[in-house]
A = this chain, B = another copy of it.
């Protein structure tokens, strides 16, 4: 969908101060309240804004270790049954099917390196998983963000 400058300013504003309401937004952006309301409705309706859920920091819950685990899947068993099993492991935060030498990529967290072993064991135990390969995230110099993308998507 096409996004104009007001949309970008609105998203940027909400990104920086999410707790402010529609009225406050309209004041900051120097537009009428109805306009802000209409823009937000439109962004939500078109799926650009998928929600306003609370963002959780796994590290604050004690899950300090982040790792990316790639999986090779036995050919006969499709991806989906494997993904369904992976979804049952709370430490698995997301799963993608991918091109290349491996079949799937998961982001997982754990309480420690030793705990990561436990999580990986659970992944290996999933029926259809042949082999895994893990890399640990040592640092995250650029945490997940979409604001620059929204700005780039403008117009």
Which residue numbers of A lie inside 8 Å of B, CB to CB?
A: 1, 3, 11, 14-15, 18-19, 43, 46-63, 66, 68, 79-80, 83-84, 86-87, 89-100, 102, 105-107, 109, 135-146, 148-153
A104's closest neighbor in chain B, by CB?
A: B141
A59's closest neighbor in chain B, by CB?
A: B47
Are the C-beta atoms of B57 and A142 separated by less than 8 Å?
A: no
Give A11 to B148 CA distance when docked, in angstroms.
28
Give A116 to B71 CA distance when docked, in angstroms.
24
Are the C-beta atoms of A56 and B63 separated by less than 8 Å?
A: no
Are the C-beta atoms of B49 and A83 separated by less than 8 Å?
A: no
Contacts A137-B96, A144-B107 known; A18 to B57 CB distance under 8 Å?
A: no
Are the C-beta atoms of A48 and B68 separated by less than 8 Å?
A: no
**A145 neighbours in B (Cβ, 8 Å):** 93-94
Determine which of B1, B3, B55 lies in contact with A51 in the assembled complex, contact meaning CB atoms within 8 Å. Answer: B55
Determine which of B50, B90, B105, B148 lies in contact with A149 in the assembled complex, contact meaning CB atoms within 8 Å. Answer: B90
Give A59 to B146 CA distance when docked, in angstroms.
11
Give A58 to B99 CA distance when docked, in angstroms.
20
Are the C-beta atoms of A102 and B135 separated by less than 8 Å?
A: yes
Q: Which 6 A-B pairs have the closest CB atoms?
A: A83-B141, A95-B142, A90-B148, A90-B152, A18-B52, A47-B60
Give A87 to B87 CA distance when docked, in angstroms.
31
